[in-house]
Amino acid sequence: MDLRLIFLGPPGVGKGTQAKRLAADKGIPHISTGDILRTEVEAHSELGNRAKQYMDDGKLVPDDLVVDMVAKRLVQPDCNRGYLLDGFPRNTAQAAALEGKLAQSANQTDKVLYFSAPDEILIKRLSGRRVCPACGANYHLETMPPKTPGVCDKCGTELIQRPDDSPQTIKNRLEVYKAQTHQLTQQYASAELLVNVDSTGTVDEIADAVARCLEL
């Protein structure tokens, strides 16, 4: 069955972790605009160079750059049977652009999963997060530590803290989410696509909630 999903929610809510799991489970591509942009920044591509400062400041990268990037990704053959969008759309203009693209191909979004947790939890998760710069695995100093401190379990690379997980940038990202992204929940609720996922629990508890709301 084709499955076109959007994962929506504030930074630090754990949607990336859930997105990786579910996409692997369902055999659909996990399209994280944050991951694609970080790869572009590392490659010093033109897109990456243009996006870097916005990302370091915790602001949204301009819509034209992101919409174009997603449009190119969605026409790849691996998206024919569906995909999981993580971190896109992030404002009403991006949501409209996505709808336009889907209408062209007579496809539609099946569900929007809205992950939520109180700010204190988000801040704790973001400030304790460590990532592997080589394979992209995520850890948390307290709740999901690697077996050897500071080293990726999967590939042995030294873990880093994302530059935008600094306290000031975390604050900016939460503000940007509230000002620009959160309103999409109303739009998708009106379209009867929105499903709430309580994301205050453990990774496994949230995964169970995801499975329940998709009736897996």
The catalytic residue among 4, 52, 90, 125 is 90
CB of 173: closest distance to ligand AMP in angstroms?
5
Nearer to ligand AMP, 148 or 183 (CB): 183
Nearer to ligand AMP, 62 or 156 (CB): 62
Nearer to ligand AMP, 165 or 207 (CB): 165
Asked about 173 being catalytic, the answer comes back as yes
CB of 23: closest distance to ligand AMP in angstroms?
15
In the complex, which residue's CB is closest to ligand AMP?
Answer: 34
Nearer to ligand AMP, 37 or 144 (CB): 37
Asked about 129 being catalytic, the answer comes back as yes
CB of 1: closest distance to ligand AMP in angstroms?
26
Q: Which residue stretches of 80-178 are H helix?
A: 92-104, 119-127, 167-176
What are the residues facing 197 on neighbouring strands? Answer: 115
Residues 6+ apart with CB under 8 A from 192: none
Q: Tokens 């989410």 identify what position? A: 177
For 67, the token pair is 């919409």
**What does the angle CA 123 – CA 188 – CA 117 come to, to the nearest 5 degrees?**
20
Return residues touching ligand AMP (CB under 6 A): 11, 33-34, 37, 54-55, 58-61, 66, 87-88, 90, 94, 164, 173
- Residue pair 139/147 in contact by the 8 Å Cβ criterion: no
The catalytic residue among 15, 26, 38, 52 is 15
The catalytic residue among 20, 38, 130, 173 is 173
Asked about 4 being catalytic, the answer comes back as no
- CA distances for 143 relative to 130, 152, 203, angstroms: 11, 15, 9
CB of 181: closest distance to ligand AMP in angstroms?
9
Nearer to ligand AMP, 46 or 208 (CB): 46
CB of 110: closest distance to ligand AMP in angstroms?
19
Residue by residue, DSSP assigns 187-214 as HHHHTT-EEEEE-SS-HHHHHHHHHHHT
Burial of 168 from C-beta contacts in 10 A (0-12 / 13-18 / 19+)? exposed
The catalytic residue among 20, 125, 129, 130 is 129
Which residues does the annotation mark as catalytic? 15, 90, 129, 162, 173
